[in-house]
Amino acid sequence: MSKVMAIYSSGHLKSVASKALLLPDIAPIMKTLTQILALSFLLLLGCKKYVVNEKPIANPGTADMVVPDGFSYETTKNVEVNIQVSDLENRPLAYKSVRFYSKDPVDGGVLLGKGYTDPQGNLKSWLHVPTYLNEVFVQLGFVGFANNQTVGINNGKLNITFGGSQKANRQFASNASARWKSGNAKTRIGSSNFFLMSTYDANGVPANLEVPGDVVSTDLLNDINGALPNSGGDAPNVAASGATDATIVELSQVWVTFISEGAGFTNSLGFYVYDTDNPPASPNDIDSIFVIFPNASLLNSGGGLQAGDKVCLGIFPAGVSIGWVLLQNAFKNNQVLTDRTKLYSNNEWNPETVDSLRPHNVQLLDPNRQLVVVGFEDVNRQNPSCDNDFNDCIFYYTANPFTGLDKTGLYGLVPCDDSDNDGVDDCNDDYPNDPARVADTEYQGTLAYEDLWPHEGDYDFNDMVFDYTLTQTTNASNEVVDIFGTFTLKANGAGFNNGFGIQLDNVAPGDIASSSLSLNGNATGSQELGNTFATFLLFENAKVHMKPTSDFVNTVVGAPYVNPVTFDLSIGFSTPQPLGDIGFPPYNPFIYVNKPNEPVVRGREVHLPDLVPTSMVDHSYFGVGDDDTDIVTGKYYKTVTNLPWGLHIPGGGFDYPRETEDIRDAYLNFVNWAQSGGQQNADWYLDISGNRVSSRIYTPPVNP
């Protein structure tokens, strides 16, 4: 894109880019102010760009930027992950799923990656996150101890320990006199119909816990984890059709034993008793609700409970039933707030307006262990953030005699199988019948390029713009088996016929078992042979696929809009690739620049800053014009003042500048980010207050 200078009505000089045919070098055009005014007049009248020279005049918007050496314009960073997972007896837990989010998914957190522990209970891997992210929400797919943690990234590392033997510092040494039985005095909470069964400590742990409590085996936790996985499993179907209350058919003593919780809330758990043959018609018909656990939260997860903590509910005659109620986020400031949303085992009383979504608990019978597991979902199921996993509060109830419980309508506690014997149970396996694959992790982002390399462009970064969605498929050892996904070409603000490719650094060409690059099922490219690293060319001329109505496709407001085109990519490896070697999407993407009406020149590659070119690059371009590439020091594709020709922005759908709008003017914090070496305003590209000027950013028409 060559540049000429134009005087706008505001009276200041601004660069205007020309992206049409390139002509050989000629003498400078603008020698006098009269010539500048004349050319400006023509530009304003014709609404057209004029080609003057392949080397443009330096951009005044970026020429004064001082960017530190070594800054590569990274908007993402690699984080080393070290996780240790043990059961409650300090034994390693193998092949347990771990998910990483930008924040709690209930609050809109985005999945960043996932992995699995090895036979020693360790997960040693890598995570790819935006540079502005300083902490990560980590979710372990196992119950029985605190399995959600928000962990800070320290010196590029995440070090986390889950599980292990845990001893709570309980205030109540003995509860022999604190046990509550049906009919004993109880404490009303305010003027409500809620009653406390005992006093409790600052963490909401009740004083009437049985001593000792139950010993919860890892086998039971494995079974519960399989039946109520984080991925949801079959729990919603069970909840819709199974029995949800405990029904007493002969005189029995009943206990509740806490198991786990996967909630961001500090919920309270209670129960009520009613005549089985004459159930209450509404919550107003319930005489009393008794609080079992004022704070149904685990130790190290907002509470003080541990798996095995047990409370006696009382002795109940035949003909009554026990209903359950979860008070959403009710334990606050050492109080149980009874005005909070209540989720009942009686589905009809729950807040959803869709009948099929009203169930909030499941009951799963384990006849061998003589217990019934109960799992609650604590979020309104019409809320998009609801995960429907029914493991936000997990407990089981037992009875003496066990025959005193009616088992009618109870589904069995059926753990997940491992159909392909890869060590990962089917509920946590994206490929339950394929031992070579277990997980898909999706990455999204945008690639934006300037194409006048080795000369500076107009810095609008819209000469070629892609949105990508790439998925890495990994095995149980967290190695990459496949890559598949799409590149959507959404802007082509260039006069050149540009191609596009990807290099997988550190991957030998012989490690590729298969590859496919296509548009609408028709091949557009292939693996390029003769490179040191595996390289794939998606296409050699964007204009062939994204039919232009002018040289500037989807960069000029008011110009005809061209629908984006999506290219499919699939790569299979002959040998699984370690994450530390292959890296993360978008890997090493590049454009290669060709003049119109001339033979393809493969070697004029433009990569993201400091990423190495392919073996096919034409080295004669290095050090020419504005390029300051230094192979010895590892500096690539930056000017002497360290300006780039390409940018990568993570997340979905970066909004690129309009034609000729300098990115510095469109994104107000870009310069501060670059000049600080990425230490400040790392979120410069997000659509948040103070970051951008909407009038300088291209917006597609609503009805193109």
CATH number at residue 105: 2.60.40.1120
pLDDT at 32 over 80: no
Identify whether residues 127 and 257 lie together within a single domain: no
pLDDT of residue 231: 64
Asked if 667 and 691 count as a contact pair (C-beta separation under 8 A), the reply is yes
What lies within 8 Å, CB to CB, of 344 at 6+ separation is 283, 323, 324, 325, 350, 360
pLDDT of residue 173: 41
pLDDT of residue 65: 85
Mean per-residue pLDDT for 64-87? 94
Query: Is residue 607 included in any domain, yes or no?
Result: yes
Identify whether residues 160 and 231 lie together within a single domain: no
What lies within 8 Å, CB to CB, of 177 at 6+ separation is none
pLDDT of residue 387: 86
The Cα 230–Cα 140 span in angstroms is 9
From 39-48, 205-214, 332-341, 399-408, the region with the lowest mean pLDDT? 39-48
What lies within 8 Å, CB to CB, of 273 at 6+ separation is 182, 288, 316, 320, 321, 322, 323
Query: Is residue 66 included in any domain, yes or no?
Result: no
Query: Is residue 422 included in any domain, yes or no?
Result: no
pLDDT of residue 233: 65
pLDDT of residue 6: 28
Report CA torsion sign: 518, 522, 527, 530.
Answer: negative
Between the CA atoms of 346, 351, 355 and 361, what dihedral angle is there, to the nearest 10 degrees?
A: -40
B/e letters for 507-525, b = 16+ CB within 10 Å, e = fewer, are beeebbeebbbebeeeebb
Query: 134, 166, 198: which is the final residue of a domain?
Result: 166
Q: How many structural domains are present in the chain?
A: 4
Mean per-residue pLDDT for 174-196? 66
Query: Is residue 472 included in any domain, yes or no?
Result: yes
pLDDT at 28 over 90: no
pLDDT at 349 over 80: yes
Identify whether residues 531 and 651 lie together within a single domain: yes
Identify whether residues 401 and 447 lie together within a single domain: no
The Cα 413–Cα 427 span in angstroms is 14
pLDDT at 41 over 70: no
Query: Is residue 385 included in any domain, yes or no?
Result: yes
Nearest to 363, CA basis, from 285, 469, 256: 256
Mean per-residue pLDDT for 211-232? 88
pLDDT at 610 over 60: yes
Range of the domain at 521: 439-696
Identify whether residues 24 and 95 lie together within a single domain: no
The Cα 348–Cα 20 span in angstroms is 67
Identify whether residues 243 and 133 lie together within a single domain: no
DSSP 8-state class, residue 420: T
> Predicted confidence band at 9 (pLDDT cuts at 50, 70, 90)?
very low
Task: Label residue 648 left, alpha or beta by phi (over 0 means left) and psi (-120 to 50 means alpha).
Answer: beta
Q: What are the two backbone dihedrals, phi and then psi, of residue 405, each rounded to the nearest 5 degrees?
A: -100, 135
Identify whether residues 400 and 343 lie together within a single domain: yes
Query: Is residue 231 included in any domain, yes or no?
Result: yes
pLDDT of residue 415: 82
pLDDT of residue 207: 95
Judged by DSSP in three states, 694 sits in helix
Judged by DSSP in three states, 665 sits in helix
Identify whether residues 581 and 448 lie together within a single domain: yes
Identify whether residues 254 and 155 lie together within a single domain: no
Identify whether residues 343 and 445 lie together within a single domain: no
Nearest to 580, CA basis, from 125, 72, 129, 153: 125
pLDDT of residue 570: 97
Asked if 230 and 142 count as a contact pair (C-beta separation under 8 A), the reply is no
pTM above threshold 0.85: no
Q: pLDDT digits over 647-669, tens only?
A: 999 997 899 999 999 999 999 99
Query: 393, 412, 431: which is the final residue of a domain?
Result: 412
From 53-57, 187-191, 279-283, 346-350, the region with the lowest mean pLDDT? 53-57
Asked if 581 and 507 count as a contact pair (C-beta separation under 8 A), the reply is yes
pLDDT of residue 83: 97
Angle at 243 between CA 331 and CA 312, to 5 degrees: 50
Query: Is residue 704 included in any domain, yes or no?
Result: no
pLDDT at 380 over 80: yes
Instruction: For the chain, give the percent of residues with pLDDT over 70.
Output: 88
Cβ atoms within 10 Å of 703's Cβ, excluding its own: 5
Mean per-residue pLDDT for 178-192? 65
- The end-to-end CA distance of the chain, in Å, is 27
> Can you spell out the DSSP letters for 426-468?
GGG-SSTT-TT--EEEEEEEEEEE---TTS---S---SEEEEE
> Predicted confidence band at 171 (pLDDT cuts at 50, 70, 90)?
low
Q: pLDDT digits over 287-301, tens only?
A: 999 999 999 999 999
What lies within 8 Å, CB to CB, of 528 at 6+ separation is 501, 535, 536, 537, 614, 616
Q: What are the two backbone dihedrals, phi and then psi, of residue 105, each rounded to the nearest 5 degrees?
A: -60, -25
Identify whether residues 684 and 632 lie together within a single domain: yes
> Can you spell out the DSSP letters for 590-644?
EEE---TTS---TT-EEESTTPPP-TT--GGGTTSTTB--BTTTTB-SBBTT--B
Query: 377, 412, 447: which is the final residue of a domain?
Result: 412
Instruction: For the chain, give the percent of residues with pLDDT over 90.
Output: 77
Query: Is residue 52 included in any domain, yes or no?
Result: no
pLDDT at 137 over 60: yes
Judged by DSSP in three states, 364 sits in strand
Identify whether residues 527 and 629 lie together within a single domain: yes
Judged by DSSP in three states, 65 sits in coil
